[in-house]
Amino acid sequence: MNTLDGNQAKVMPEHSRDLLGWAWRRSYAGLSAIGIFSIFINLLKLATPIYLLQLLDRVIASRSHETLIMLTVITLLAIFTGILLEITRRQMFVRWGIWIERILGPTLFTYGFSKQSGHSPKTAKMLRDVNSMRSFVSGKGVVAWLDVAWCPLFIALIFLIAPPLGYIVLIGVIVTVVLGWMNELVTRESRDAAYMARREDREWVSSAERHQETIGSLGMAASLAERWSRSAFSRLDEGVRTRTANIYFESTMRFVGRCVRIGVLGVGVWMVIDEVLTLGAVFAANVLGRMAYSLAERAMQKWREMSTAITAYQRIKNSLGQDGTRPLSEPESDTPLTLAIDKVSYRYPNQPLSIFRGIDIVVNPGEVLCVIGPSAAGKTTFVRLVSGLIASRSGKIRLGDVDVYRLQQEFSSKRYVGHLPQYVGLFQGTVRENIAGMMDGDIDSVVAAAKLVKIHDTILTLPHGYDTEISEDEPLLSAGQRKKIALARAFYGEPPLIVLDEPSPHLDNSSRSALRAAILALKAKGSVIVVTTQTKSLSRIADKVLLFTDSKYKVLQTAEEIAALRARKTGRQRDDKQKVKLNNKGGKERQQKHRTNSKSSNTDIKSNNKDSRIIHLKQ
């Protein structure tokens, strides 16, 4: 939204679902001016046929140089005025297209990345729709379809001059419309196939770039190149089919246009010979026919752009229409907030069974909820629900009295949730911006968050400290250091709710101790902390435990229950170690017995060999 000026930002609607209506209302004045310009532009096009009509029928007969000069000056002035109006109209459309993208782009970007419940369109697709609308408005497409409305007027004028000539032009225009429609119909399948192949092509290249080290170390480049070439060659083949069809249809349209011009001239001269029509009227009708046909031809050539723009507009309208939220009442900023998980259930789309059902737990300010369980038990899904990234199928998760999911979807004056995902991602920007959530951020709060996770000293060793530019695959930072920056981002501003999904991997022992100290410090300040972990150091500071086992869950809320769980885990670990020792001891005994048997066998073999030699000597 920072692309808008202050006055414009103030009058923008509060909800994204009202954005399109607001944009149309803001555009009425400009569109009205464009409509008036279009009227004058197309009326001024009549200057040329009127000039020819007067020139051939009157000026030659009167032999008046003054009349010729006057008509020529007036016609040139009309043409020049029409060109100036056309330039102004095109500039207005270009600026309108840019304004549309500035209005819709940031809103759809924010909407797409905040609505992560699985039913909203992908952000990249919505942004491509905005780009399609801007390209149509800023290009020649919208002008072609705006001017094609004047085609019937030009044909009607030809009918006034000579009905036979009008029928010739009308038939040519109808044939052109049919050809344009057939071109769109015939090439639709190949265009869709080419689009899918192009998208698969981009996905292969993007995936290969992300896993470049794996490809290089395992020698996978040749096999991946073969797979990429399939989609690339498919894209090329479908593109050839589309372009070939376009060539045939466009060539046919040009042929029809030339036939129309020859037909108008031929029939017109025939009528002149029969003294039914004047030569000036023939040339005027020919110019009008060429203008009418060219308007229809240009519109048919831009049919695809218009269809794409209309489809994009409908998708954007439907996407923004899904935002049915009401104004959000934010929690009191200075009051410690309680996390209430009220009978929450979740089931992935198209899956028959729920991952978990009816989880009910309350985490008070200053408490740590530790989520424990085996892989694929639902821990990450649970913390995504708690973070407000996805919406529960049933039940509510509230921070204070406000639904966490709604709290994450709405703009607010304060950051209420700090989240560390399982897979850490940094963004192109400075260290300061990454910690502050890609904003400038208060430097004191940024430094405090960095010191909390013990990354401050490391940042100071970077070339420009907190202003050092980093990226997702920053070579200046190790995996553990990137993890610490992501932790600092989660802790930035000391939000009331902090959710950490497996924060311990990639951290050494000292870093894990710093993480534990940071959690205890934030706990003392009243933050609610939810963490998934398999480490003892974090589970020991838990006030409550949510245990996932075999598609079930259990909530441990008392110190005795948590202590019993730790005792069982310690006992199991002791038993596992004892089993390992016994297995190792048994293996050693079997190896010793095998060596003893081997020695005994070797002794017997040697004794037998010695007896055999004695018998041989005696013989």
- What pLDDT is stored for residue 290 in this prediction? 92
344 & 461 share domain? yes
- What pLDDT is stored for residue 353 in this prediction? 77
What CATH number did the domain enclosing 360 receive? Answer: 3.40.50.300
Buried b (16+ CB within 10 A) or exposed e, 76-90: eebeeebeebbeebb
Confidence of residue 584 (pLDDT cuts 50, 70, 90): low
Residue 462 in this model has a pLDDT that exceeds 70:
yes
Give the residue numbers spanning the domain of 117. 1-140+309-323
**Rounded-to-integer distance, Cα 580 and Cα 109, Å:** 54
- What pLDDT is stored for residue 411 in this prediction? 53
4 & 78 share domain? yes
Q: What is the CA radius of gyration of the chain?
A: 39
- Closest by Cα among 83, 99, 97 to 37: 83
Buried b (16+ CB within 10 A) or exposed e, 347-358: beeeeeeebbbe
Identify whether 136 is part of a domain: yes
Helices then strands, counting H and E runs in the chain, come out as 22, 12
133 & 154 share domain? no
- What pLDDT is stored for residue 619 in this prediction? 41
- What token pair was written down for 263? 């037909």
Confidence of residue 559 (pLDDT cuts 50, 70, 90): low
- What pLDDT is stored for residue 119 in this prediction? 43
Residue 84 in this model has a pLDDT that exceeds 50:
yes
User: Three-class SS string for 214-225?
Assistant: HHHHHCCHHHHH
280-283 contact pairs (CB < 8 A, 24+): 280/52, 280/53, 280/54, 280/55, 280/56, 280/57, 280/58, 281/53, 281/57, 281/161, 281/162, 282/165, 283/49, 283/52, 283/53, 283/56
- What pLDDT is stored for residue 472 in this prediction? 73
Residue 616 in this model has a pLDDT that exceeds 50:
no
Does 407 or 274 have the greater pLDDT score? 274
Buried b (16+ CB within 10 A) or exposed e, 465-484: ebebebeeebeebeeebbbb
Most confident segment among 19-23, 265-269, 581-585, 599-603: 265-269
Confidence of residue 552 (pLDDT cuts 50, 70, 90): confident
219 & 91 share domain? no
- What token pair was written down for 227? 């797979």
Identify whether 328 is part of a domain: no
265 & 211 share domain? yes
Identify whether 537 is part of a domain: yes
Identify whether 265 is part of a domain: yes
**Rounded-to-integer distance, Cα 271 and Cα 166, Å:** 13
Average pLDDT of 100-128?
71
Average pLDDT of 430-455?
88
| Range name among 100-114, 127-141, 222-236, 323-337 with the lowest pLDDT average | 323-337
Residue 116 in this model has a pLDDT that exceeds 60:
no
Beta strands 429-430 and 528-532 are: unpaired
Angle of helix 221-273 relative to helix 163-210, nearest 10 degrees, comes to 170
- What pLDDT is stored for residue 579 in this prediction? 56
439 & 460 share domain? yes
For residue 48, give every residue at least 6 positions away whose Cβ sits within 8 Å of its Cβ, in sequence order, or none: 75, 79, 287
pLDDT over 90 for what percent of the chain?
25
347 & 409 share domain? yes
Does 325 or 440 have the greater pLDDT score? 440
Domain count within the chain: 4
Confidence of residue 72 (pLDDT cuts 50, 70, 90): very high
Confidence of residue 332 (pLDDT cuts 50, 70, 90): low
85 & 167 share domain? no
Confidence of residue 613 (pLDDT cuts 50, 70, 90): very low
Identify whether 331 is part of a domain: no
- What pLDDT is stored for residue 618 in this prediction? 42
Residue 56 in this model has a pLDDT that exceeds 50:
yes
119 & 171 share domain? no
- What pLDDT is stored for residue 118 in this prediction? 44
For residue 238, give every residue at least 6 positions away whose Cβ sits within 8 Å of its Cβ, in sequence order, or none: 190, 191, 193, 194, 197
What does the DSSP 8-state code read for residue 373? -
Helix (H) or strand (E) holding 517: helix 509-524
* Predicted model pTM: 0.69
Confidence of residue 158 (pLDDT cuts 50, 70, 90): very high
Buried b (16+ CB within 10 A) or exposed e, 20-51: beebeeeeeeeeeebeebbeebbebbbbbbbb
User: Taking all residues of the chain, what is their mean pLDDT, rounded to a whole number?
Assistant: 80
CB atoms within 10 A of CB 556: 20
| Range name among 84-98, 362-376, 533-547 with the lowest pLDDT average | 533-547
Identify whether 145 is part of a domain: no
Residue 80 in this model has a pLDDT that exceeds 90:
yes
What CATH number did the domain enclosing 274 receive? Answer: 1.20.1560.10
What tens digit of pLDDT does each residue of 173-216 get? Answer: 999 999 988 888 888 887 777 777 777 777 777 777 766 767 77
Average pLDDT of 567-583?
56
- What token pair was written down for 279? 């030569």
9 & 98 share domain? yes
**Rounded-to-integer distance, Cα 176 and Cα 97, Å:** 29
Helix (H) or strand (E) holding 394: strand 394-399
Does 60 or 73 have the greater pLDDT score? 73
* Residue owning tokens 């009331």: 496
Torsion of CA 312, 316, 319, 321, to 10 degrees: -130
**Rounded-to-integer distance, Cα 520 and Cα 528, Å:** 11
What tens digit of pLDDT does each residue of 507-535 get? Answer: 888 888 888 999 999 999 889 999 988 77
- What pLDDT is stored for residue 165 in this prediction? 93
Identify whether 329 is part of a domain: no
38 & 92 share domain? yes
Residue 16 in this model has a pLDDT that exceeds 70:
no
318 & 248 share domain? no
Specify burial of residue 144 (Cβ count, 10 A radius: 0-12, 13-18, 19+). Answer: buried
Identify whether 376 is part of a domain: yes
What tens digit of pLDDT does each residue of 241-285 get? Answer: 888 888 888 899 999 999 999 999 999 999 999 888 888 899 999
Confidence of residue 617 (pLDDT cuts 50, 70, 90): very low
